[in-house]
Structure 1
C-alpha cells in the first residue's frame, strides 16, 4: 500500500478537497427586461406607461360597455367610481389661453360634475358650457392621467364698443357682445352706434381700410336705418356716406382725396353729405354761431348753412336739409 490516503466509503479513490462556496446558477434575463434595456429611457418609465395604458384601456372598455353593450348604468358608474378610487380622479385643472375672462369661471364649469372620477367626467358637456361663455371663441378639454384635466381656451379679441339703447358694450370683430363698458373707462377702440351696428363691425373695418389716412381720425360710426354709415371724426365733423358697400367705398376714397388737397377736417365744418352720387354738400355752422371758420383763398365755396364744393369728378348741386337723413 502506498502513501496515498484512502478515505472510508470511497475505496481506491481520494476525495478532492473543496475550497470556497459553490457558485449560484446565473439567472437569465426575461425578454421584457432585455427589450427594456435597449430603450433610451429608464425601465420605470416603461412600467408607468404600461400602467397608464392599462387604465386608459379599462376606461375605454367601461365606456363601451355602458354605451354600446347595454350594461346597466349603475354597474358602469360603479366600475368608473372604482377606477377613481384607485387614484384616477380629477385633482388638478390646468387652464391655458386665459387673458381677459375670469379664470374662476372656467374652474367652476370644469368642476361642476356629479363625480370627479376620470371616466365619468363628460368632456363634451364641459366644452359645451365653456363655449356658451361670451369671451370664449374655442375650447378644448382633455384628460391627462392620472388626475389632471386640461382646458385650452381661445379668447375673442375686442374690436369695438357698441352703443345701443344708451348701453355701451365691448364687442369682437363678429359683433359678439363680450361685456358691458363703463363710460368712465372707455377703451381705445372704435365706437359703433345704432341697432344692429355690432353686426356691421367687419364691413366697417373693410370700408375704413379703403382710406387708411382717415381711419385713425374716425371717432365713431353710426349705422343709419340699417343700410348706411355716418362717420364722425375726432375733429367733430360728420360724413354721411351712401348706401351699398361699393358706393360707400368710392365716396370715402373721394372724400379722402379732397381732404388731402382742401384740408376739410379741423376747419369748423359741421357735416359733409355724400349720400347722393355725384353730389358733395357741406354744412357750416349758423351765422350766429361763435365758431369762426378759417377760410383761405383755396377753401371750398360756402353759402350760409349749406355750401357746395365742385369736385373734378362730380357736378355739385342741391342743398342740405341739416337733419342728417333725407
Structure 2
C-alpha cells in the first residue's frame, strides 16, 4: 500500500458536485376579457396608460374646483384681486362719453355713476352696456376700460326723421318708430309730422313712399296714417293729398300727382284736398269761400290722366309764387 497521501479535494471527482435544482418557470397567465378588449384597441398599452392617468388627474382637478366653488374660494379670490387693483390705483375715477351729437349726455353719466370708485376689474362691462342701451336715443353702444382709471362709453345715436303726434303728445322718432324724446309743441323741429295711433310704425314705409316722388319730398309737412291702412299727405302750402291703400298703388298715385304738379303747378293754388283714393277719379276739393264766389260745387272730378280744371281765380294765381310754408298739426280723416 502506498503511503502517498491524497491531498484534500484533489481526488474529488466530477460526480461529487452537489446538483443545483432546476429553475421553474411560472405558468402563463390566462388572458381575461379586459385584456382581449385592450388588445383590440388601436393604441399601445403605454399610450392607454397615459390617457387613463390624464383622466384621473382631470377628475381630481374637477373635484377640487367644485369643492372650492362650494366654499366660495374663487369669488373671494376675485374680490381680493379687485381690492388689490383698487389699492394700486386701478380704480374708476372718470367716465368718458363719446359719439353724442343730439342727445343729452347726463342720462349716460347717471347710469355710469354706480361704477365710480370701484375697481376697474370689478366693473361688469356687459351689464353697463345693457343699461345704456335702454336709453331711447341709443342705437348701439360699446363700453371699454382705459387703464388706469377711465371707463369709455362710445354711443351710436339714432337719427330722428319725424315727429309723432299721438294721444295729445309729440315725440321725436327714428325711421323704425322708436321714440327718442318728447317734443315741445312751441319749438317744433324742422321734421315732418306723422299722426295716428300706429303712424310711428309706418314711418319707414312713408319714407319709401316719398322716394317715388323726390320732387315732393322737401314740400312735405306731415302725414296722417288713416284707419291703419293708408296715408293722407299734408304739404307745406296747406293742401292734403289722399292716397289709396297699398304701397304700390300709393306710390303710383303719388308719382302721377308729382307729374301733374310739375305741369300744372297744383300746389299753392288754394285747393283744400286732392283725393286720389279712387284710381278712376281725381277729385279736387275747393275751400268754402271760393265755392260761394264761383257758385261751384265743393269738388271737381277729372280723369286720372287729364289736367284738372280750376276756376279763373286759380288760373290768375298760376304764375304767382307759392305761399310761404306753414307748419300745422294734422288730424285724422273725417
TM-score normalised by length of structure 2: 0.67
* Matched pairs, number: 246
Larger relative helix fraction = 2
CA distance, structure 1, for counterparts of residue 162 and residue 276 of structure 2: 25
For residue 312 of structure 1, the aligned residue among 298, 305, 308 is 305
Structure 2 CA distance for partners of 1:153 and 1:256, relative to 1, 3 Å: same
CA contact (8 A) 2:82 2:121 kept: yes
Counterpart in the other structure of 1:272: 274
Deviation at 1:100, TM superposition (A): 2.1
Q: Which runs of 5+ in 1 are unaligned?
A: 1-65, 294-301, 315-323
Q: How far does the alpha carbon of each residue in 1:260-287 deviate from its partner, in whole angstroms, 9 at most, with x for none?
A: 2222211121111111222211111236
Q: State the 1:258 CA deviation.
A: 1.2
2:58 is matched with: none
Moved more, 258-267 or 240-249: 258-267
* C-alpha deviation, 1:311, in angstroms: 3.3
DSSP-derived class of the 1:137 partner: strand
Q: Counterparts of 1:165 and 1:187 in 2: how far apart (Å)? A: 19
Q: Contact between 1:286 and 1:304, CA under 8 Å: does it hold in 2?
A: no
Match of 1:200 in 2: 202
Q: So what's the TM-score if we normalise by structure 1?
A: 0.69
Q: Which residue of 1 aligns with 2:133?
A: 131
Once the two structures are TM-superposed, the CA of residue 156 in structure 1 deviates from its matched residue by 1.1
Q: Aligned partners of 1:78 and 1:258: how far apart in 2?
A: 77
Equivalent of residue 224 in structure 1, options 215, 223, 226: 226
Question: In the alignment, which of 228, 231, 256 is matched to residue 254 of structure 1?
Answer: 256
| 1:184 paired residue number | 186
> Per-residue CA shift, 1:5-49, capped at 9, x if unaligned?
xxxxxxxxxxxxxxxxxxxxxxxxxxxxxxxxxxxxxxxxxxxxx
Residue by residue over 1:48-96, the C-alpha shift from the partner in whole angstroms, topping out at 9 and shown as x without a partner, is: xxxxxxxxxxxxxxxxxx99x7343234212211221111111222221
Q: The residue matched to 1:178 in structure 2 has which SS? A: strand
**Kept after mapping to 2: 8 A contact 1:137/1:155:** yes
The DSSP-based 3-state class of the residue aligned with 1:119 is: helix
Partner of 1:214: 216
For 2:235, the equivalent position in structure 1 comes to 233
Task: Give the distance between the partners of 2:296 and 2:302, measured in 1 at CA.
Answer: 11
Which of these two proteins has the greater Rg computed from alpha carbons?
A: 2
User: Which 4+ residue blocks in structure 1 deviate beyond 4 angstroms?
Assistant: 287-290
Cα 1:159/1:287, change in 2 over 3 Å: closer
1:286 to 255, 273, 288: 288
Partner of 1:108: 110
What is the rounded CA distance, in whole Å, between the counterparts of 1:306 and 1:160 in structure 2?
Answer: 31
Structure 2: any 5+ residue segments left out of the alignment?
A: 1-64, 308-331
The 2-side partners of 1:260 and 1:135 are apart by 38
Question: Are the structure 2 counterparts of residues 281 and 289 from structure 1 closer, same or farther at C-alpha, using a change threshold of 3 Å?
Answer: closer
Q: Within 2, Cα distance between the matches of 1:306 and 1:222? A: 21
Instruction: Report if aligned partners of 2:234, 2:240 keep a CA contact under 8 Å in 1.
Output: yes
